[in-house]
Amino acid sequence: MMSKVLIVGSGLVGCLLAVLLHKRGHAVTLCERRADPRRAGYVGGRSINLALSDRGLLALRMAGLADDVAAVSIPLPGRLVHGANQQTSFFNYGLNGEAIHSVSRGGLNIRLLDIIDSLGIDIRYEHRCHEVRLAVNEADFVDASGAVHTLHGDVILGCDGAYSAVRGALQKTDRFEYSQSYLPHGYKELAIEAGPDGSARLDRNALHIWPRQSYMLIALPNLDNSFTCTLFFPFEGEPSFASLQAVDDAEAFFARVFPSAHALMPDFREQWNNNPVSSLITVRCEPWGATTANGQVLLLGDAAHAIVPFFGQGMNAGFEDARVLASLLDEHGQDWSVASKEFQRMRKPHADAIATLALDNFVEMRDLVQDPTFQLKKRIEAAVARACPGQFVPSYTMVTFRPDLSYATALARARAQDVILQQLMGHPSVVADPTSAAHEALYRTMAASLPPLQPDMR
């Protein structure tokens, strides 16, 4: 059954969804608040980049786009930790050489928009959604001249990000649950340019992290050998964005705390002054949609579940939304009323789980990565996982490299495995040498107390 689908927002999720739905025979119109980034330049500059991992890749593969994206991404098999003592240590992300992929957000969005054009999908830029009338499945869009365009869709999909206008309409309906919460930390982006000969000034095969307890700096490589750095830093207190307003203070602080990064930023002062500080929000809401007399309204991606970026999963979760919705439509003969109800029922617990995991991972990244007890626990985790493949799987692996497991299963399993790790931390012989073959029988016995780890994603 072919439907007229109106997608609000041509960010990453809106674009992928447009391709998936167009390929299923639906008549898709995409409306985007901004101008075409290929003409206007990508808002936010070229710098913002993201870690794409297996959930996102699986969704891109469903749309036939994984190769396009692989061509513009850089594989990162691990993180390189820059300690406060200036020493570095490399940690693999997976036990078997798995990698996440650094990709430019602007570059990926533009690649998806090129594909949308090549498929002849109707896309309207400078169309800002300012009202959705749920009762009649219509939305009003204001263009650059201030003119209002009213469009109807059998289905309206809100892919308009964390501050979604479509969600705004749902928020006015009875018993709509909504919460938002901001981290006390914000972020500022800074760049490390390629060297004078065009070469990379840090190792390109790693996500770099400078953990400093209450704050941290990270850097991801770009295709042109530059790096995008993100400073996650408190808004208030000491030190904070508020306490470092004067650029002299900021530079002195940066040079003292992140000397190896500061040495690679000759234009630090200009960047500090010019680049904005942005906030980090978690949004939870329910339901994600409504069935109206004239069709369906549904939220996906950040519009339904904005999360903090510390597990590198916001886009991946949004892409997974798109893949699951497309699968449900296929399963139910493109019947939106069934698919969208099923979608919300299935996805909401997983969105809640990744929101929790992402918040937890902030503490791990900035505070714990350097902590000897945490490092010991990670060594034990890896040793148990090696002894019990498929039964005891590190939490990072479940979230990042196992799209056959839902986020909710990854969270529940990680909590159960953590109890085992805590118990093992109480065994002096394990603590002395976690990788000794003598412990394997113990590891297997303890892991066997957990139920089998069953794939639960379609």
| Residues within the interface to ligand FAD (CB under 6 A) | 8-14, 31-34, 50-51, 128-129, 159-161, 165, 187, 230, 301-303, 309, 312-316, 318
Exposure b/e, 394-403, CB count within 10 A at least 16 = b: bbbbbbbbbb
The residue (of 18 and 385) whose beta carbon lies closer to ligand FAD is 18
Write down the least CB distance from residue 163 to ligand FAD, Å. 6
Write down the least CB distance from residue 35 to ligand FAD, Å. 10
Of the candidates 124, 119, 15, 143, the one whose C-alpha atom is nearest the C-alpha of residue 69 is 15
The residue (of 314 and 394) whose beta carbon lies closer to ligand FAD is 314
Q: Do 373 and 431 contact (CB within 8 A), yes or no?
A: no
Q: In what order do the strands lie in the sheet with 73-76?
A: 49-52, 100-104, 73-76
Write down the least CB distance from residue 57 to ligand FAD, Å. 11
Write down the least CB distance from residue 432 to ligand FAD, Å. 37
The residue (of 186 and 434) whose beta carbon lies closer to ligand FAD is 186
Q: Look up residue 361 and give its amino acid.
A: N
The residue (of 9 and 434) whose beta carbon lies closer to ligand FAD is 9
What whole-number distance in Å separates Cα of residue 342 and Cα of residue 288?
11
Q: Cβ-closest residue to ligand FAD?
A: 11
Degrees (nearest 5) of the Cα angle 404, 405, 408?
150
Write down the least CB distance from residue 187 to ligand FAD, Å. 5
Write down the least CB distance from residue 177 to ligand FAD, Å. 20
The residue (of 32 and 98) whose beta carbon lies closer to ligand FAD is 32
Instruction: Give the relative orientation of helices 54-62 and 12-23 as an angle to the nearest 10 degrees.
Output: 30
Write down the least CB distance from residue 56 to ligand FAD, Å. 6
**Dihedrals phi, psi of 176, to nearest 5 degrees:** -75, 125
What whole-number distance in Å separates Cα of residue 255 and Cα of residue 274?
18
Write down the least CB distance from residue 239 to ligand FAD, Å. 20
Exposure b/e, 151-175, CB count within 10 A at least 16 = b: bebbbbbbbbbbebbbbbbbeeeee
The residue (of 149 and 386) whose beta carbon lies closer to ligand FAD is 149
- With 0-12 / 13-18 / 19 or more C-beta atoms within 10 angstroms meaning exposed / middle / buried, residue 63 is buried
The residue (of 271 and 313) whose beta carbon lies closer to ligand FAD is 313
Place of tokens 């993180």: 79
The residue (of 87 and 274) whose beta carbon lies closer to ligand FAD is 274
- Give the β-pairing of 277-286 and 227-234: unpaired
Tokens of residue 320, six digits: 């997974």
Write down the least CB distance from residue 10 to ligand FAD, Å. 5
Write down the least CB distance from residue 152 to ligand FAD, Å. 16
Q: Which residues pair with 91 in a beta bridge?
A: 79
The residue (of 142 and 450) whose beta carbon lies closer to ligand FAD is 142
Of the candidates 203, 210, 222, 277, the one whose C-alpha atom is nearest the C-alpha of residue 50 is 222
Task: Please list the helix, strand and coil fractions of the chain in percent, rounded to the nearest 5, in that order.
Answer: 40, 25, 35
Exposure b/e, 353-368, CB count within 10 A at least 16 = b: bbbebbbebbebbbbb
The residue (of 322 and 421) whose beta carbon lies closer to ligand FAD is 322
